[in-house]
Amino acid sequence: MQRENDVFLSLLKLYIQPKPGMNTKHLLHDEMLELIRNWLVEWNAHNLDKVMDLLHEEVIFENWTGSLVKGKKNLRRAWMPWFNNHGNFTFINEDLFADQTEQKVLLQWELTWPSSEINFAGQPEIRRGIDIIHFKDGLIHRKFSYSKTTVTIQDKPVALSAGQKKRISKDNCNNRS
């Protein structure tokens, strides 16, 4: 009987060991919210190193233009020009909620930064949007950003221009490998 128990326990241990790609660390609800709040502090401090510290090595990021970046190194390369020439951008947390079971957060934000819109270049722009963020192993694994198609410049709504100059170049973002 002891031998059967030992075999059963050995098989059970094999079964419950983390599989490759399996999420091995689940954050609690409050931990997810705190991580995102701290992450926003680092964004507003324009500290790319600290922002990157909270990302999974296999991070996937899709921004509001549809550009997709895979991998932490590729994302650092894509974001570096933006952080180096940040124009003192700031994010405000408008709303934040988390699903502990699914390890997901929805962040509603307001971004203030210098506009790149035609006829408004360099003027303060307010853009609103949401991020859907997935966690894996206690880190941000997926970040999908969505933006309204109208921004506020000089207290007036301005429709985003099609084909506008992008802040993060396609060369940096469309790395799908």
In a domain, 59, yes or no: yes
Q: What is the CATH number of the domain that holds 119?
A: 3.10.450.50
Q: Tell me whether residue 51 is in a domain.
A: yes
Other beta carbons within 10 angstroms of residue 154's beta carbon come to 10
Q: 96 lies in which domain range?
A: 25-173
- The strand pairing partners of 136, in sequence order, are 139
Residue 145 maps to a domain: yes
Q: What is the pLDDT along the chain (177 residues), one digit of tens a residue?
A: 666 666 555 544 444 444 555 567 999 999 999 999 999 999 999 999 999 999 999 999 999 888 999 999 999 999 999 999 989 999 999 999 999 999 999 999 999 999 988 889 999 999 999 999 999 999 999 999 999 999 999 999 999 876 554 444 334 444 434
Structure tokens that stand for 71 in this block: 């991998």
Q: Count of domains in the chain? A: 1
